[in-house]
Amino acid sequence: MIQEPAKEELKVILKEDSFELYEELYYFIRDNYNVECYWDMGGKYGIYLLRFQKSKKTLCTFYIRNGELGIWIIYGKEERELFESKPTLFHEEIIKIYEETHTYHDGKWIMLDLNDRTFINDIKNMLEIKKKPNRKLTMCGYCCDECMAYAPNIKKNDKRDELSRLWKKYYDIETTPDQIYCDGCLCMKKDAKRIDDGCPVRVCVLEKGLQDCSECKNYPCDTFMQRKGLSYEDATMKLKNNFDNKEYHEYLFAFDNKSRLDRKTTRNNSFSL
């Protein structure tokens, strides 16, 4: 395994059009699925590979090539039955690739090459057949599954010492590790512990009966902006030479809520049209 390459390097390898496809699919997965990202060298299939995986079960694999993005999805029996029952969701070319892909004992290993937007919705539909979205977001769009302050993550692997250091580095927040513990703003237990019990966003979302801020006609409002986290671009601009790609993705990506909700709003608007 290797560290995640910087965006700047991926842009150079993929070129502009394919990098845009990569980012759209990358964030579609990260916004909708509780998976971990494993980077490695691509070998004969590309320069790099990126595997989206959870508990040793792989959602899909990206292959980063010169000017092209490859997607590898493996369908077992149940996924094949679902795919074959929904032919209207897919272009004829995708169905042809599927039909021509050999079925091994462990399923169909479907490889798709992308260099334009023609099949991007087909890929998203194929991923949703592979696994239903299961990402857990807070009311302001933080990502509980990625957050090292979230109680289940602390119990699994306590990284609060490092998170405390990085909150100071990126947000100028002074918090000791023992103060970092959160059951999540969606938790309704009377004894639930939260980093900020007085969060104005949580109060507003509950009062309006919404799931999160992206459903509000006033998004993004001043109340939301009080809890806006640093995007990748914000963090690189703020930290400059002190920015660390690995620590951002491991510890700070969870709090990039505006980028996440902007994408969700765009998807919802596109669907409604």
CA–CA–CA angle 70, 76, 77 (5° rounding): 140
Q: Which residues contact 102 (CB under 8 A, 6 or more apart)?
A: 108, 109
**Residue 31 contacts residue 260 (beta carbons within 8 Å):** yes
Same domain, 266 and 150: yes
Same domain, 20 and 125: yes
Q: Copy the structure tokens of residue 29.
A: 């997965």
Sign of the C-alpha dihedral, residues 8, 13, 14, 16? positive
Helix axes 120-130, 7-32, angle to 10 degrees: 50
Nearest to 62 by CA among 123, 16, 117: 123
Question: Is residue 135 situated within a structural domain?
Answer: no
**Residue 64 contacts residue 10 (beta carbons within 8 Å):** yes
Same domain, 179 and 267: yes
The pLDDT of residue 270 is 58
**Residue 232 contacts residue 6 (beta carbons within 8 Å):** no
The pLDDT of residue 248 is 95
Residue length, the chain? 273
Question: Is residue 217 situated within a structural domain?
Answer: yes
The pLDDT of residue 271 is 47
* Residue appearing with tokens 């692997």: 157
Same domain, 124 and 158: no
CA 254 – CA 148 distance, rounded (Å) = 9
CA 12 – CA 67 distance, rounded (Å) = 9
The pLDDT of residue 204 is 97
Residue at which a domain ends, from 65, 100, 130? 130
Same domain, 233 and 115: no
Q: Which residues of 151-188 are buried (b: 16+ CB within 10 A; e: fewer)?
A: bebbeeeebbeebbebbebbeeeebebeebebbbbeee
Nearest to 257 by CA among 201, 203, 217, 204: 201
* Residue appearing with tokens 């109340």: 223
Same domain, 98 and 170: no
Q: What is the tally of structural domains in the chain? A: 2
Full-model pTM: 0.89
Residue at which a domain ends, from 88, 106, 130? 130
pLDDT (tens digit per residue) in 210-244: 999 999 999 999 999 999 999 999 999 999 999 99
Nearest to 138 by CA among 240, 43, 227, 233: 227
The pLDDT of residue 155 is 97
Question: Is residue 1 situated within a structural domain?
Answer: no
Spans of the chain, pLDDT less than 50: 271-273
Question: Is residue 148 situated within a structural domain?
Answer: yes
Question: Is residue 102 situated within a structural domain?
Answer: yes
| Range 169-173 contact pairs with CB under 8 angstroms and sequence separation of 24 or more | 169/239, 169/242, 170/230, 170/235, 170/238, 170/239, 170/248, 170/252, 171/230
The pLDDT of residue 269 is 67
Question: Is residue 159 situated within a structural domain?
Answer: yes
Measured in whole angstroms, the distance separating CA 135 from the mean position of its chain's CA atoms is 8
The pLDDT of residue 267 is 75
Same domain, 14 and 123: yes
- Domain hosting 148: range is 144-272
Same domain, 19 and 63: yes
